[in-house]
């Protein structure tokens, strides 16, 4: 390999600049690695998932990322503290959970776009290069990836690929990995505005019903986000006729009490919300992380935090593999096995937590939705 070849060779190309990809890029760039972070950013696209628990703030402090360090073009409206949850689950009486009692303290209700801009900015400040594009074809030749950057007529070369493309797991699935699905769950969300300017609560609201469960919260923008999590068949009905979704929203007890007058003007596409995992999370020169490796049912409240931790873990794994690129096959296999083992431990703990959560709701023993979720 010539000097010019080495200079044009990236240590890592990362597909996906969400929390997992940005944290992996930040970790590797701080280690002096040449990192190319690639993603197509659509500012008009609303990402569901805006709650960062106190443990997530602790993680950000541990990797020296401040939510206040934003480029001026991305200054957030604000990130709001989340004092706790109110849930109707397992009984008709609301249950109040106070996050002030959490050892990590209250989390934040994020301006999601600005939050992700913060993480990308941290990666760029560490030395990573961010390119707003999509990754096309990837071919591995002589231990080097040839990576097509779509729309830019470029082919980049890299030692390693990280798939941080979220639930789509674009790279890993292209390389032959297959998804293992937990019980199917679809989320139908919408954004709206209340008639009154001030919300009645800044807590997260969760309410179980016979055919699924609701989530609602007030975003920093003042918009209300509300989502119904149900089986794909019922979700399809709501997608075809959004008025049925609104009727079901107003039939809730807890949530409609706090948001009695709300106009939903921004329906969102149906989302796959069920848990899943890949049958392979790493291979020859590639690794998957975050939701690409394993995604969680939102009832677990893992979401963004797990994605960030997963990105850091993938970054550390790739750093180890690059540091020991001349290691024997058995040593590389040992490092890969350790990465896989840790993900398996996390998934086992998640599945146990998920099972306990769904089985604690026993009010509708004849409901097909609850029987399906409880059997998973």
pLDDT tens-digit readout, 61-110 = 999 998 865 444 445 557 888 999 999 999 999 999 998 778 888 889 99
Quickly state the pLDDT bin for 164 (edges 50, 70, 90): very high
Tokens matching residue 177: 């990995």
Please tell me whether the overall predicted TM-score, pTM, comes out greater than 0.75 for this model.
yes
> Does residue 307 contact residue 290 with C-beta atoms inside 8 Å?
yes
244-259 residue pLDDT tens: 999 999 999 999 999 9
CB atoms within 10 A of CB 317: 23
What local confidence, expressed as pLDDT, does residue 72 receive?
42
Question: What is the reported pLDDT for 1?
Answer: 52
Q: What is the pLDDT of residue 73?
A: 46
Angstrom distance (rounded) from CA 126 to CA 301: 29
Distances (CA, A) of 299 to 21, 208, 322, 375: 23, 11, 37, 16
230: left (phi over 0), alpha (psi -120 to 50) or beta: beta
Reported as a single tens digit per residue, the pLDDT across 221-245 is: 889 999 999 999 999 999 999 999 9
Return the pLDDT at 227: 97
Q: What percent of the chain has pLDDT over 90?
A: 78
Average predicted confidence (pLDDT) for the chain = 92
The per-residue pLDDT for 197 is 65
In this prediction, residues 312-321 reach a mean pLDDT of: 97
Domains of the chain (ranges, CATH numbers): 3-76+111-181+276-357 (3.50.50.60), 186-272 (3.30.9.100)
């Amino acid at each position: 390999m010539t000097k010019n070849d080495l200079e044009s060779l990236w240590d890592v190309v990362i597909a996906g600049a969400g929390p997992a990809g940005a944290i992996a890029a930040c970790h590797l760039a701080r280690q002096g690695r040449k990192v190319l972070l690639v993603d197509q950013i659509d500012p008009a696209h609303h990402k569901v998932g805006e709650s960062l628990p106190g443990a997530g703030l602790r993680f950000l402090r541990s990797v020296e990322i401040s939510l206040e360090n934003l480029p001026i073009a991305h200054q957030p409206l604000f990130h709001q503290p989340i004092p706790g949850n109110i849930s109707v689950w397992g009984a008709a009486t609301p249950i109040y959970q106070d996050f002030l009692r959490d050892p990590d303290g209250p989390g934040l209700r994020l301006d999601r776009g600005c939050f992700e801009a913060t993480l990308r900015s941290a990666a760029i400040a560490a030395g990573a290069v961010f390119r707003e594009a999509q990754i096309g074809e990837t071919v591995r030749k002589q231990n080097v990836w040839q990576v097509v950057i779509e729309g830019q007529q470029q082919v980049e070369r890299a030692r390693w690929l990280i798939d941080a493309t979220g639930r789509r797991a674009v790279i890993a699935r292209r390389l032959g990995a297959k998804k293992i699905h937990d019980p199917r769950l679809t989320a139908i969300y919408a954004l709206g505005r209340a008639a009154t300017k001030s919300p009645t609560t800044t807590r997260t609201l969760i309410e179980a019903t016979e055919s699924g469960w609701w989530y609602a919260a007030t975003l920093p923008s003042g918009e209300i986000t509300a989502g119904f999590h149900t089986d794909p068949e019922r979700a399809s009905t709501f997608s075809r006729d959004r008025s049925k979704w609104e009727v079901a929203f107003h039939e809730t007890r807890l949530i409609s009490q706090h948001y009695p007058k709300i106009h939903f003007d921004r329906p969102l596409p149906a989302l796959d919300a069920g848990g899943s995992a890949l049958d392979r999370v790493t291979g020859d020169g590639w690794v998957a992380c975050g939701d690409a490796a394993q995604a969680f049912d939102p009832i677990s409240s893992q979401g963004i935090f797990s994605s960030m931790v997963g990105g850091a873990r993938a970054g550390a794994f790739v750093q180890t593999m690059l540091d020991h690129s001349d290691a024997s096959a058995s040593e590389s296999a040992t490092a890969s096995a350790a990465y896989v083992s840790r993900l398996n431990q996390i998934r086992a703990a998640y599945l146990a937590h998920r099972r306990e959560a769904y089985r604690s709701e026993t009010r509708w023993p004849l409901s097909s939705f609850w029987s399906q979720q409880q059997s998973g």
